[in-house]
Structure 1
Amino acid sequence: MAVHQAAAPAVKVSEVSMVFGGGAPAVDRASFDLRQGKFLTILGPSGSGKTTLLRMIAGFLKPTQGEIMIGGRPVDALPPHRRSIGMVFQKLALFPHMTAAENVAFPLKMRRTDPAAIPGRVARFLDLVRLGGLGGRRIDELSGGQQQRVAIARALVFEPELLLLDEPLAALDRKLREEMQLEFRRIQKELGVTTINVTHDQREALVVSDEIIIMDGGSIRQHASPSEMYRTPASEFVARFIGVSSLIPGIARSDGLICEGVALAGTLSAGVSPGRPAHGVIRAEQIRISGSASAPAGCETVCEGAVSDVIFEGDRLLYAVYVPALSLTLQVYHHDPGSNAVYQAGDHVSLGWRGADMFVFEARSREGHQKSKEEDQ
């Protein structure tokens, strides 16, 4: 029987580090594999190392140690223009004196593509990004979203092995940014191009990605699918970074946490020992809220509190609720306020949650770690 070897990852990063000027590592022994056709988002706070890691994959920085492979081939000795990578940055760097079609054609001309084949290729990719018929317009005659589409077409027109996105949507307003997130996803799926995206935007990471990497202090904290990242975070940092959460300090017990003498239902993460200092993390949407006269149904933990603030977010309300028994204020999302009771500051309410909804992690004086010297915009 023939034995078939698994295809090499589209991108393989092995023990890669980057140190600037003898300081703390901007990236510290990062390793991950990315399969062909997948959309990976690298997410993290400013200074986490995500942009430095992307620049090493692109070839703009040479790793202090480790190896990067693209399509099964080492690329450490290859300059950016020889790595078969398309790139879209926050600053789109489109040529203002050229038309949209001329901008898209530019990479083909630089690669000495047959001139007869260029117009058809350009037209195909302008159609792909829904700019068919607008190729003759100059860049300053296009809207911000249309300019984004030109940049995407230019990055893809030569059919690279890998597409790198460095916060290309950060400068757009919220509505347009959310529209373009879906466009990136559609185009990526249609072409099947392997993509690595860097962003600060949690929603963007969850919406567009097949996989997410969260970085902090130069290190990869978790690499997982969006649903796994959200439902089973590997650390307190990851749990608090994704979504709106409340932190509850206390002492671990086998079925949760004790805070201010109150037993709270929760699920212990790996390595947490009962009797040790611990932190509970619970997401705002996992806490149920009801009037003080009726406790939320189906909850293993119920506590009383008073609303201290109400923030309207359109499709939902965010309550800040002070719980005297815990000496804490918890953040609580209340969806569909149009069909449910709406509470005001000063109202007394009941809060509740299931044990499966609060993650309990070992308490650490610092989760992380020295910030890198990277200037991560």
Structure 2
Amino acid sequence: MNKTKQQAAGGTDAEIAVSARNVTMDFGAPIPAVDNASFDVEKGSFLTILGPSGSGKTTLLRMIAGFQTPTSGTITIGGKPVDAAPAHRRSVGMVFQKLALFPHMTAAENVAFPLKMRRVNPADIPGKVETFLNLVKLDGYADRRPHELSGGQQQRVAIARALVFEPELLLLDEPLAALDRKLREEMQLEFRRIQKELGVTTINVTHDQREALVVSDDIIVMDNGKIQQHAKPVGLYRAPNNLFVAGFIGISTFMDGVATNEGIKIGNDMLIGTLTKGVKAGETARGAVRAEQIRIAPSSDALGSLDMMLEGQVEDVIFEGERLTYVVASDRLPDVKFQIYHHDPHEFDLFEPGAAVSFGWNGRDMKVFPCHPQ
């Protein structure tokens, strides 16, 4: 097999399972559905394509699957063009939001179906089906039909069916979107466990930022057909490339002003921050600081040593179960509402609406972005 390699971090060669170069899909709308996308997916890794509705993520996945042909650019799987073989003969498993299980078949029969279509030796099929039902923790459910299974169990059958013929590539098209939150979070961990156990290269599409951060080795963020950033989850979260990524991942407070070498100036107030690529002193800019990076306390003395401190008043307190979110206003910045996560889960009643508080952050935690498109 033709194997494509790239130089990976640390100086070692990493085998590339999927490669996209300058891929565009233009349906004739004002902007292309996918615009000049280029990226590589290492063999055995889990990549998530993340973005809002209409960002182009599903179109990109469909081109990787071979269901749509790019207007321009190339996509290879295992070093071979994606259109080198018809879709049904490619070594690609897929799980969709609509699971498309056969209602008249049992779980075992659904899982066996792709093996029969590939003319696997009938004597080998029962053992393979049992192995993959066990993998997704459905041993004992082989004889049940889809209507006799819960949503999560149906999802597991779909996963087993997509993996039973041991594909080179697994594609996931928002398969968890229809599940309730608790089950969705459980299945996210299951996807991660199964992918790590099998080592199958996986590309997942979702609009759920938590899912992307939980399951992925790498994340691509898309908007308006363009790749906005491609990074490891921690790097993506801590160092967003631009305003869109900063706003789409996590909860941030944004402040408009004029960039300086120290941060951003709003009126007569200098807010300490870190300038990102493309920001020039004297130009309009927007600062962004994440809710968990702002510290809040009854007084400035209680905050300790921070680069930036403000006085304010709590306007609202939002209980989210595992945390509280404070909405805080400051007379110095009347147009800004700061969202701040509580950092002590044992004292949820620390500040009530109307309480006077001090809050602040370190300069490295507020990113200053250019307001013009990048």
TM-score (norm 2): 0.94
Provide structure 2 residue ranges, at least 5 long, that are not aligned to the other structure. Answer: 6-12
Residue 61 of structure 2 corresponds to residue 27 of structure 1? no
CA distance in 1: counterparts of 2:356 and 2:19, whole angstroms? 54
CA distance in 2: counterparts of 1:230 and 1:335, whole angstroms? 18
| Percent of matched pairs sharing the same residue | 65
Residue 19 of structure 2 corresponds to residue 9 of structure 1? no
Contact 2:324-2:348 at 8 Å conserved across structures: no
Q: CA offset at residue 239 of structure 1?
A: 1.1
| 1:96 partner amino acid | P
| 2:322 partner amino acid | D
2:79 paired residue number:
72
Greater RCO (CA < 8 Å, at least 6 residues apart): 1
Residue 142 of structure 2 corresponds to residue 135 of structure 1? yes
1:235 paired residue number:
242
For residues 211-263 of structure 1, the C-alpha deviation after alignment (integer angstroms, 9 at most, x for no partner) is: 00000110001100001101111111111111001101111111211112111
Q: SS state of the match for residue 333, structure 2?
A: coil
Q: CA offset at residue 342 of structure 1?
A: 2.0
Alignment of 1:283-322 (within 5 A): 283-292=290-299, 294-322=301-329
CA distance in 2: counterparts of 1:130 and 1:179, whole angstroms? 13
| 1:352 partner amino acid | G
| 1:188 partner amino acid | Q
2:200 paired residue number:
193
CA distance in 2: counterparts of 1:25 and 1:8, whole angstroms? 30
2:9 paired residue number:
none
Choose from 234, 248, 252 the match for 2:255: 248
Alignment of 1:158-307 (within 5 A): 158-292=165-299, 294-307=301-314
Over 3 Å counting, the alpha-carbon distance change for 1:331 and 1:359 in structure 2 is same
Q: CA offset at residue 22 of structure 1?
A: 5.3
Q: CA offset at residue 340 of structure 1?
A: 5.9
Q: CA offset at residue 307 of structure 1?
A: 1.0
Paired residues in the alignment total: 363
2:127 paired residue number:
120
CA distance in 1: counterparts of 2:304 and 2:318, whole angstroms? 25
CA distance in 1: counterparts of 2:188 and 2:199, whole angstroms? 16
Q: CA offset at residue 298 of structure 1?
A: 1.9
Q: CA offset at residue 335 of structure 1?
A: 3.1
CA distance in 1: counterparts of 2:54 and 2:118, whole angstroms? 35
Q: CA offset at residue 338 of structure 1?
A: 2.3
2:345 paired residue number:
337
| Runs of 4+, deviation exceeding 3 Å | 4-8, 292-295
CA distance in 2: counterparts of 1:103 and 1:72, whole angstroms? 31
Q: SS state of the match for residue 58, structure 2?
A: helix
Provide structure 1 residue ranges, at least 5 long, that are not aligned to the other structure. Answer: 369-377
For residues 298-355 of structure 1, the C-alpha deviation after alignment (integer angstroms, 9 at most, x for no partner) is: 2110001111111101111011111120121111110333236521111111111000
Q: SS state of the match for residue 102, structure 2?
A: coil
Over 3 Å counting, the alpha-carbon distance change for 1:335 and 1:295 in structure 2 is closer
Calculate the aligned-residue CA RMSD, in Å: 1.5
| 2:261 partner amino acid | S
2:365 paired residue number:
357
1:110 paired residue number:
117
Alignment of 1:30-49 (within 5 A): 30-49=37-56
Q: Larger deviation: 20-29 or 45-54? A: 20-29
CA distance in 2: counterparts of 1:333 and 1:355, whole angstroms? 18
Residue 294 of structure 2 corresponds to residue 326 of structure 1? no
Over 3 Å counting, the alpha-carbon distance change for 1:341 and 1:300 in structure 2 is farther
Q: SS state of the match for residue 346, structure 1?
A: coil
Q: CA offset at residue 77 of structure 1?
A: 4.5
Q: Larger deviation: 270-279 or 240-249? A: 270-279
| 1:260 partner amino acid | G
